[in-house]
Structure 1
Amino acid sequence: MSNLSRDKRVVESTGKLLLAGFEGYEITPDCQAVKLIKIHKVRSFILGSKNFVNVPQITKLIDDLQTRAKLEGYERPLLIAVDQELGCCNAMFDEIALTQFPGAMGLAATDDVELIYKVGEALATELRSIGFNFLMGPDLDICSRMSNQLIGVRSFGSTVEDVTKYAIAFARGLKKGGILTCAKHFPGIGSSFVDNLLELPMMLETYTQLECFNVLPFKNLIDEGLIDSVHAGGVAVPNISPNEIHACLSPVIVQKLLRKNCKFDGLVVSECLELESLCRNVGLGQGAVLAILYARCDMVMVCSDYIYQEEALSSLTKAYESGNYDPIFAQSVRRIDELHRKLQWSEKIQLTSDLWNEHQKLSIQAYSKSITLVRDQEDVLPINKYFTKNDENNIVVLTPLITQIHPDVHNTNSEEARANSSKLYPCEDTFHDFGEQLAGYDESQDYKVLHTTYTANGLTTLHESLIENSKKTFQFH
């Protein structure tokens, strides 16, 4: 083989090993994404909020990316990934063109596997209509630590049985909708916490504990053939062995627990190597080499910085050129190629108005069924037992003054909207509809509802006066 042909093979092979992100809302001739495609032959990209304005804009961005890949002679489409977990954990939000569904905990609260299946299918269909073909999900973490701020509502439940039951339904829907899946965050980080001293996400389970609990949802979905790839987490696992720092850099986690124990021979993607604790402790170049050659992940994720992406590719290229790791590289490239062979240039679908309307109805149904009474120890509900027809039935509703996750979506230029919004403080409209519904709950009784907000400073003397003069007060936290 000539040096030129080997150099070309090295570039093409190492380019396949990177799942790259970039900033920007459009593709230009000299942008980061084009450099990654043209120079480094990168074939997989992950897009997120830093690329998103609205659905038409990101659809064009993806189309332009794929066009660039065609111009470079790529035989298969680019793998275009997105981290769209639903609920409040979405990379994209567009109420005009993208249906909002409950997150994993909300879906589990419905206890309706058929509904969850339909939501999975609807999500996959809408993502494919935009141009995505790869979802960073489902989330298979068991939320066994209730104070877990890393997972929380992103989990389908606190038991192996619940997570497996609902995740299987969701994954089947995703599969029916035609999108590739990447189960996360192996080996299951639902018990993790952030170590304040090390500034590092950490979990303290032993290998046996992981094997008997955390990984079981992954194993169950792998056995069902519902997982195309697995995302290895970046949490520290100090009790696995003295040398193990991060799960995605650990051969015990990836080779032994995932490959051997769970019998998974598909694609494994590392946590983003730009994760602060990981990058600080290991470094980008060394992290890429450890993830691929030591832990045996197949693809490393570097979500943003072009310099870091080049550092990762440079380190992998040097290892490849040494000739010492050819079997490992060949195995990873095989898995990546197998996944890419599932992609077709013509697979983008159209979202019809009828299907969109069905998804809106499905969303309403899912949110309605997800409403759950978690606790009512004082037997407060139903509230109408406190009122009689002869009472004035004054109700005060106190709600926190919140900040919307996507405030730009709710901006409007209509005269009517401006007139209505001028009567309310910013974000008061979030609970305004609830007050109106409460006021009209029972036509036979005269509910007078006063809705006001409070800030992080707590209740004022004015709030206390309103509470004193009300028949009943409802305070939301």
Structure 2
Amino acid sequence: MLWSYTDWTSDALPMVEAGELGGIISRGPRPANVQTAVEFTNDLQHRSPLPLLFLEDFEFGVGYLIRGATEFSSAMGLGATGEAQCAYEAGRITALEARALGYHVPIVPVLDVNVNPANPIINVRSFGEDPEKVAEFGVAFARGIEEAGCMACGKHFPGHGDTDVDSHRQLPAVPHDRARMDAVELVPFKRCIDAGISFIMSAHIVFPAVDPMPGLPATLSRKILTGLLRDELGFEGICVTDAMSMRAIADNFPAGEAEVRAAEAGADFILCMEPRVAYDALVAAVKSGRIDLERVRTSAARILAAKERMKLHEKRDVDAGAVASVVGTDAHREKALEIARKSMTLLRGETPCLRPDGKLLAVIVRTKRPTGIESHEVLAAELKGHNPSADCLFVDEQAGADAAVQVERRIPEADRVLFATFARVEAYKETSGGRAPAQEEIVRVLARSEKPFTAISFGSPYVLGRLGTAHNLLAAWHDSDVCIQAACEVCFGKLKPAGESPVTIPGL
């Protein structure tokens, strides 16, 4: 049995050097930029006696996590383009850049069907609410990854799209019967499995229609990971767990025991936070006969075949000198911008809604990307590039009455007002997906001004349903540089929005 590791503590490096880990997914600290990413993967490959597989959550492109690489729109933004070819191109470029940095498995595409607007953790990570469209875009994205030399990973099996709980924080359940699962949740997974996807990631979610054992998540269920995934759907690739440190697992199953149960259920790669505890528990389970040795050999054979496919037996490290010609190139950024422009979706109103010579008050919610880039500063600079006299007021995500007073004082000087929120989808965060009621008072103040009022979400589109007083509502889907640029082009009349929302937004 081989597994991966999710955080750098004192026992991780010795385990790499002893050949006790089969792969790496970093959870802190991640490489800060493309140079340190190459140093990171090459260094660990040199230290390990066995070739390592490197996995990473490059859901919005490599640039989402590593500065200097290309960042795209969200999956929902890709869905808004209506063109599966956009998903293919995003997958292809993501894989080219990931492989150049020494990564082999961008853990995408997300195959969850986001039918629940209250979903705090899938949301814009999904291609939409139509199972057939999610399947079409998921297959295209995965094909782009695989054809560019990496291995795609569909997640979160058998479906995380209809939950209103974040599995990083609690153990969710999907209570639907099997017929409903066949018609919705399983459609994209079936399609990608039939197309030959390399990896499937399990969900830490209870599915009583498949396994009636109370409180048993899919990750630990043999009926789901073996019976449904392999025996029924015919998946022959590698089954990897979601992070075992997530509270859906960690709050309910002890470290070590959880990893043993995942192996018994059928997982090949186990993403564990406490690798020494997990390693010792798995070894003990094999020695005691609890886990059959043939079960271990089956998983090991799958993983070794994946490493051979990546030609890691011939060359493990990557050429640092070749990175600049592949990662974050002008051509890749132009393709990302082209896709972002196609995704812009005007949910209400008309454009242009802002003027280059007008007196604009832009109220922008502060936010920071995983790379440390402050998206509110990027947006302010872009707005001022179109309208140098724009008054940009930054407010905190939990801004309340005091911020509303500041906004009200500045309104008289403006002839148009803009509210921009980023509504980020973030693990472990209570306000994930834009759940910040404090901002609503600011919106009410802007609405009372009776001045032309535009609202933009650079994240969850569902928050726009609560901004019904705005004259113009624009879904920009993500806060990457290209999405911010495209949104400003729409607002100032330089780009006609052509996207269509792939989800229904309550209130609109």
Q: TM-score, length-normalised on structure 1?
A: 0.77
1:310 to 276, 289, 313: 276
Pick one of 359, 371, 383 that aligns with 1:434. Answer: 383
Instruction: Decide whether aligned partners of structure 1 residues 393 and 314 sit closer, same or farther in structure 2, where only a CA change above 3 A counts.
Output: closer
2:52 aligned with 1:86: no
User: Are residues 1:360 and 2:326 paired?
Assistant: no
- Give distance in 2, aligned partners of 1:273 and 1:475: 38
**Secondary structure in 2 aligned to 1:268?**
strand
Residue aligning to 2:353: 383
C-alpha RMSD over aligned residues = 2.9
Return the offset for 1:229: 1.3
The code of the aligned residue for 2:367 comes to T
Please say if 1:243 is aligned against 2:225. no
Deviation of residue 195 (structure 1)?
8.3
CA contact under 8 A between 2:32 and 2:371: conserved in structure 1? no
Residues 475 and 280 of structure 1, relative CA distance in 2, 3 Å threshold: closer
| Partner Cα separation in structure 2 for residue 66 and residue 336 of structure 1 | 16
- Contact 2:120–2:166 (CA<8 Å) still a contact in 1? no
Q: Which residue of 2 aligns with 1:337?
A: 304
Query: What's 1:147 paired with?
Result: 118
Q: Which amino acid aligns with 1:120?
A: G
Map 1:63-462; keep pairs closer than 5 Å. Answer: 63-69=42-48, 72=49, 74=50, 77-86=51-60, 92-94=65-67, 97-194=68-165, 199-225=170-196, 227-244=197-214, 245-293=216-264, 295-302=265-272, 304=273, 308-323=274-289, 325-345=292-312, 346=315, 348=318, 350-353=322-325, 356-373=329-346, 375-376=347-348, 379-383=349-353, 394-406=358-370, 408-409=372-373, 427-428=376-377, 430-438=379-387, 449-455=390-396, 456-458=399-401, 460=404
Moved more, 464-473 or 55-64: 464-473
Distance in 2 between the 1:277 and 1:90 partners? 29
Matched, 1:463 2:407: yes
Aligned partners of 1:61 and 1:272: how far apart in 2? 21
Q: Which has the higher contact order (CA 8 A, sep 6+)?
A: 2
Question: What TM-score do the two structures reach when normalised by structure 2?
Answer: 0.73
Contact 1:399 1:431 in 2 (8 A): no
Q: 2:8 aligns with which of 11, 23, 41?
A: 23
User: Relative to structure 1, is the Cα distance of residues 33 and 199 closer, same or farther in structure 2, using a 3 angstrom cutoff?
Assistant: closer
Structure number with larger C-alpha Rg: 1
Shift of 1:475: 3.2
Aligned counterpart, 1:42: 21
- Aligned partner of 1:56 among 35, 54, 57: 35
- Counting aligned pairs with the same residue, the percent is 25
Query: 1:336-367 CA deviation, whole Å, 9 max, x = no partner?
Result: 22222212243746345487121121122122
Shift of 1:248: 0.7
Amino acid at match of 2:306: L
For residue 23 of structure 1, report the CA deviation from its aligned partner. 1.8
| TM-aligned CA deviation for residue 469 of structure 1 | 5.3
Q: Is the CA contact (8 Å cut-off) linking 2:361 and 2:418 kept in structure 1?
A: yes
Contact 1:396-1:467 at 8 Å conserved across structures: no
2:360–2:390 Cα contact (<8 Å) kept = yes
Letter paired with 2:311: Q
Deviation at 1:401, TM superposition (A): 3.7
AA aligned to 1:433 is E
Q: Distance in 1 between matches of 2:256 and 2:342?
A: 48
SS at match of 2:152: strand
Describe the SS at the equivalent of 1:236. Answer: coil
Counterpart CA distance in 1 for 2:17 and 2:381 is: 52
Give the whole-Å Cα distance in 1 for the aligned partners of 2:20 and 2:406: 64
Matches of 2:414 and 2:244, distance apart in 1: 55
Moved more, 320-329 or 169-178: 320-329
Give the partner amino acid of 1:116. Answer: A
